[in-house]
Amino acid sequence: MSEPTTLATLRPAAVLVPVYRDAEGELRLVLVRRSNFGVHGGQLAFPGGKHDPTDASLLHTALREAEEEVHLPSSAIQVLTELPIISTITTGYQVAPFLARITRPEVWRWLEREVEEVLEVRVADLANPANHATEHWQLDGWPRPMPISFIRIGEHKLWGLSYRIVRPLLPRLLAGEWAV
């Protein structure tokens, strides 16, 4: 059995939380669906990953990962704010999310070994209470089923760390806290 994770042993990571307005003026959040491998296989997430020793900062980590995963260059990104740091529950990371207004590329391209698809989701749909639910799930390594809250996005469910980033962010985006 592995040692319990403490705040002192959490590994640093960062994600970019990309937003933009579409041609109709709708605010959209960009998510990726992870490829079907690894501990997060098939899950919805933001572009991001662990901090490398060569990264100058956690912001650099988020920007590097966005370029690697979805070919979004830093020239297309304007960071609006750093959101509160969130610790993962099971994988031992302390994640710094950075909210950023992006210039959407004409066509999304992505690193296929890590990303299955890019989703551009209307913030209004994410905020719609009809898309929110909680179910009891039994995941590998869990001693018993636990309640998991999530947002339905088509056939997918946004849950876990990404859900914990999005949930408090939605009312702030809808209130126009940042010029997007």
* DSSP code at position 91: S
What pTM does this model have?
0.91
Distance, CA of 165 to CA of 9 (rounded, Å): 21
* DSSP code at position 68: H
Q: Return the amino acid letter for 12.
A: P
Distance, CA of 121 to CA of 144 (rounded, Å): 32
Q: Return the amino acid letter for 30.
A: V
Q: 149: Cβ–Cβ under 8 A, 6 or more apart, which residues?
A: 132, 133, 134, 159, 163, 167
Domain ranges for the chain, please list them: 10-174
Domain 10-174: state its class: alpha beta
Distance, CA of 62 to CA of 57 (rounded, Å): 9
pLDDT in tens, the chain (180 residues): 344 445 558 999 999 999 999 999 999 999 999 987 655 567 999 999 999 999 999 999 999 999 999 999 999 999 999 999 999 877 889 999 999 999 999 999 999 999 999 999 999 999 999 999 999 998 877 889 999 999 999 999 999 999 999 999 999 999 999 999
HSE value, Cβ hemisphere, 13 Å, CA-based, for 180: 28
- Start-to-end C-alpha separation, the chain: 46
Looking up tokens 């990953």, which residue turns up? 49
pLDDT at residue 5 in the model: 46
* DSSP code at position 16: E
pLDDT at residue 173 in the model: 98
pLDDT at residue 7 in the model: 54
Distance, CA of 66 to CA of 116 (rounded, Å): 14
